[in-house]
Amino acid sequence: MENKRNASRLKRRKKKKKLLMLFFLIIVLLFLGILLYIFVEYQQSLKNSQNGSSLQHENIKFNGVRNKSGKINILLLGIDARGKEKSRADTIMIAQYDPEAKKFKIASIMRDSYVYIPGHGKNKINAAHAYGGPELLRKTIKNNFDIDIEYFILVDFKGFTKAIDKAFPEGIEINVEKEMSKGIGVTLHPGVQKLHGKELLGYVRFRKDAESDFGRVRRQQEVLKQIIDEFISIKGIVKLPSVIGTIQPYILTNIEYKQALSILTSFLSSDTKNIDFFRIPVDESFEDVTYPQVGAVLDIDIEQNKKALKEFLYK
């Protein structure tokens, strides 16, 4: 009798072991299938997007400096590239990733901020890119705000529209607060609606109202947060390689693939995926001034904004 019980137990254990092995095999095959799908999607997207970029893909000099805190600072730039013409930076952000806390922070610097540009005197901060590309902009931020930046990512707005249309073929739902048309190449009407790439770009670039650049920065951060939230989902992660393949010809960066993958994997494995946003200049730290040869600027209190930015990034 006892032998029969032991044989029955042994049989159940073997059956359970086989089921576990089968389950494990299914998981492995599913994982490999997803990896294969991601690789094929990436290669196909890269192949389909080789033409059309206006960015000059030369080796850009960028003497990035790693800050002592261990946090990773990345200069994010959005430009409207026009061939060999060096344009002013339309969007300027500092993205910081803390590998220990697994947390992102993003600070927007308004493009009309009046600062000292090394070798060129005082001007709007976005002029630094036209004078000397990402490297001079890095030096300008260091000179005025004492922030060390290690990496840069420069995105042509054509890449933004293509990435949005690839990732979100049905568009992204936005509550357009007013009619927008002047200076953005599209006409947007008030109300909740789904915007495609070109329309969404117009939405985040609009500045011809009472809010001016302040409204634009607010909308940029709002849309960026929504895009990140979408990509954090499993569905978004699967789409990411094909989106990267689509946008790659429209990006210049000094971040290596392994480093980017490490940051992304670390962030996605964290318990909380909230991102903190900030804006320079801070409230009550600037004046609207018009200077000859420069035009309308935000004449900012450098010391007040330097202190505020450091507190946001390092406390």
Query: What averages of pLDDT result for each successive group of 10 residues across the chain (315 residues)?
Result: 59 62 51 46 50 58 91 92 71 94 93 97 96 96 97 89 87 93 93 94 92 92 86 66 76 83 75 86 96 95 98 93
CA distance 237 to 167: 10
Q: Rounded to the nearest 5°, which phi and psi values hold at 288?
A: -80, 115
Q: Residue 68: what pLDDT?
A: 86
List CB contacts of 213: < 8 A, sequence separation 6 or more. Answer: 110, 111, 112, 207, 298
Q: Residue 62: what pLDDT?
A: 94
Task: Residue 297: name the closest of 307, 312, 308, 287 by CA.
Answer: 287
CA distance 253 to 159: 14
Q: How many CB atoms lie within 10 A of CB 313?
A: 20
Q: Residue 44: what pLDDT?
A: 52
CA distance 97 to 71: 6
Note whether 186 and 277 are within 8 A (CB). Answer: no
Domains along the chain with CATH numbers: 72-314 (3.40.630.190)
Q: Residue 252: what pLDDT?
A: 87
Per residue in 221-235, pLDDT (tens digit) is: 999 888 888 777 656
Q: What is the identity of the amino acid at 24?
A: F
User: Which residue intervals of 106-256 are DSSP H helices?
Assistant: 127-145, 157-167, 197-205, 212-232, 234-247
CA distance 120 to 227: 36
Q: Rounded to the nearest 10 degrees, what angle do helices 234-247 and 157-167 cross at? A: 140
β-bridge mates for residue 179, sequence order: none
What are the DSSP calls for 83-122, one per residue?
A: TTB-PPPSEEEEEEEETTTTEEEEEEE-TTBEEEETTTEE
Q: Residue 25: what pLDDT?
A: 52
Per residue in 59-77, pLDDT (tens digit) is: 688 999 998 889 999 999 9
Residue showing tokens 């002047």: 182
